[in-house]
A and B are shown apart, each in its own frame.
Chain A
């Protein structure tokens, strides 16, 4: 049985500095998952992935991928790996990024 679809956002690393970024609704890339475009259907996710692929081709980001996220204002990724990517190493709170990207 196919896995039920879960809302997702698209994340990548920015090419020039490697920073973790998220695809925003206007096609720009933001460091704040909260400002990411949320896909609530497979079609919406495919649309985001297509836009991300364009950004990869345009050498703006690398390793773009859709990841499951909360359907909330925070858009927080669900997996531990992605939550760590969002805020930074858990062992260095002094280097942590706020989920808002600041």
Chain B
């Protein structure tokens, strides 16, 4: 018995000695070694987000392939990591996400980390990567608190994710203050006076719901309720019956049982108008043949996504987009890709273009971060022309409004958000 205690003490003693050993693979910005650089991608590959994640990966790999997997004298290796687990499929599992981030930190050749998909996951990986000085780009995070402390952020955000005080994170989609405003704008345009909100209580859904509530009130709409939903509930009939408004917005992702929610609300409130955010902008939600909302519910639903249609891109003169769509079809044989495919493409392209811009110093993480955050200006891309501001946010603010036609998302118009 005593011996065991002795070893316990010894172990702690070793810990004291061990503290001064070498730190992780380059804290505070180091130089990646050699001429091979690695780009990691961390997405939930299991569960309900699988299809969207795979679209992101397809987009990323297309961009990488077009660059010939090289930037200047460096070859780029791509590794896709899964941040979900079997116990927690469909979203970022915290322990797994931390493991992914640490893996990237430990690899001395890491030059970019493309992730997470879920805002809640980035909360875990960003502090780790920030400490290690690894540049990070997310294809899809929209939570406000990750980059600014505007309404919708929790107290202490965003600084608590940047322990070094420096910004190392950028995202290519607008934050949810914009989506909230876009949704409120479109609801007002459609004649809503009262709005009922439901949210899935995740970082994304609850945060967006708060943004919608703020924006709606600013535009003079009355918010009658903001209910949290539980994924495990078999149906939401009672919630639906308790709604008393002209318009309903379900702020969540498909995987949180939002198909059922929309169906129940549509059934209980025959006259209500339905709205969904980008979390439900996927075929699994819109297509009845894949188990999504039925056609009659789809006819009453409008969805906002920060992507525009190929035709709209053409109208705005963004030829890169047309090229992307034709390249994507040539590579994968899909004419109408999932909206997230284009995000994946742009995420990788931004990374690669940043590396190209620093030239020989592409293995210097600090230089890459500097280029990414401070020098990405007037970038012409498949999403349009934008800057990355000092917070890491994109200056793009266009949101596309989509209706659902024949089970597919059909572009309706661009929303210029008010306020």
The answer to whether A binds B is no
Task: Point out residues on B near A: beta carbons under 8 Å.
Answer: none
